[in-house]
Amino acid sequence: MSNSSPTVSDGNPRLRPVQAAEILEDGVRLLLLADLGRPEGPMAVLSRAALALAALMDGTRDRAELVLEFSRQHGVSLEPALVSYLVEQLDEALLLDSPRYRADLAARREAYRAEPLRPMLLAPEVFPAGAGPAAEFLDRLFLAPGGPGRLPSGKASGGQPSPRQGRACKGVIAPHIDYPRGDGLYGQAYLRLAEEAMSADLYVLVGTDHRGELDQPLTLTAHDFATPFGRLQTDSELCWELAASRPWLDNELAHKDEHSLELQAVLLHHVLLHCGPGAGEERATRARVLPLLCGSLLGVEPDPGLLRARRAEVDAFVEELGSLTASRPYVVIAGADLAHLGPAFGTEPVSGEDRRLLATRDSETLALVSSGDAEALLDDALADGNARQICSVTAIYLAMRLLQGCRGELLGYRQCQVPDEPEPLSVVSIAAAAFHG
């Protein structure tokens, strides 16, 4: 093994959040472990016995105690050298919270921060990379099935003003599924933004951290976003002010490969430039975004202590943002999908009756969103251990906390198929909502 990097300390090894995939090697079933937040990074190949040992590495036991605990649980005596070998193997794969991992993380974080802006990941597969084609493509979301059926007022020549124009929209929930499947629901949410939320100069983008979600509940980035229309500017000064006393920028790398905010940034930039009253270069140049990714409030398993600590982080963020923006109204845009069920997500196939039941449960959740009661929403998700696997519980909860006192209006709901399944066995549910206070 290489000794060129810092080695794991002699303290208590702690396994970081990982994902496992079974592989077959010379007729033997093994497990391939990768970092949950970086599946393309270094990996470790383990036997099932080694995985059982790694599962004991929670930071509470040193190597001698790992030997004793493994023997107690499995009735097998281990050589201490085997424990040390596994610790080093996991550490070289950057799967332990260790000096080697932290040095690698710091180097990758600095490399990301040295980039001029957060690059587009989804163009041209999900949307066109060029400004003209992208504008035409995004306009079609307003006219798609389930959408408002018209472009924002002022967009088309001779367009009629909306009867709702002048009513202030304080925030929206839009999908973060790909544009083709979310089409009309994106149109519903962004029509409200175009026609009712153009007086703000700060847009708080709240999205789901799908890959690093177990590390911490809230993560900012100070990077500007690349879109087909150029640079969408982040309020970097506000980001650093918010992070002055808390580690909200420490996991900034999560933004690099996360799509949930990119989809909002691209559509928002389009709206600022091309849609609704006051749209144009001056409007887009003046606007700033505050990009925030949300992880799990619970971690790997429900843990009341962890939940309290992470809710305290949310409380602190809401209070601090309110203090720093007391005289600066902002609009909240949450990119949030709902249930993820079926074989694509590790559950049983979804039948027609399952879909009807899902629609009923989702409607109950969305009624809580409309009520504006963030705590009731969170309690509802926790009551059944988030059995529907709603990926955006934290994002919706935080958005509602930031919109305290506002009531939501449901704009649309849909259940989407998962692409490339031989038959429709899995489903993602999505919705759009607008908030007024």
Residues 55, 15 contacting (CB under 8 angstroms)? yes
Q: Does residue 380 surpass a pLDDT of 70?
A: yes
User: pLDDT over 70 for what percent of the chain?
Assistant: 92
Which helix H or strand E contains 97, and what residues bound it? Answer: none
Residues 385, 304 contacting (CB under 8 angstroms)? no
Predicted TM-score (pTM) of the model is 0.84
Residue 245 or residue 193, greater confidence: 193
DSSP state of 345: G
Contacts of 253 (CB under 8 A, 6+ apart): 37, 105, 108, 109, 112, 212
Residue 4: the pLDDT is 38
Contacts of 315 (CB under 8 A, 6+ apart): none
pLDDT bin (cut points 50, 70, 90) of residue 28 is confident
Residue 106: the pLDDT is 86
Q: Does residue 1 surpass a pLDDT of 60?
A: no
Residue 22: the pLDDT is 83
Residue 270: the pLDDT is 97
Residue 157: the pLDDT is 39
DSSP state of 400: H
pLDDT bin (cut points 50, 70, 90) of residue 215 is low
Mean pLDDT, all residues of the chain: 89
Give CA–CA dist 119/129, Å, rounded: 11
Q: Does residue 414 surpass a pLDDT of 50?
A: yes
Residue 7: the pLDDT is 46
pLDDT bin (cut points 50, 70, 90) of residue 213 is very low
User: What pLDDT digit, counting tens, does each position of 277-305 carry?
Assistant: 888 999 999 999 999 999 887 655 666 77
> If you search the block for the tokens 């951290």, which residue do you land on?
209
Report which residue type is found at 212: G
Residue 300: the pLDDT is 54
pLDDT bin (cut points 50, 70, 90) of residue 159 is very low
pLDDT bin (cut points 50, 70, 90) of residue 368 is very high
Q: Does residue 44 surpass a pLDDT of 70?
A: yes
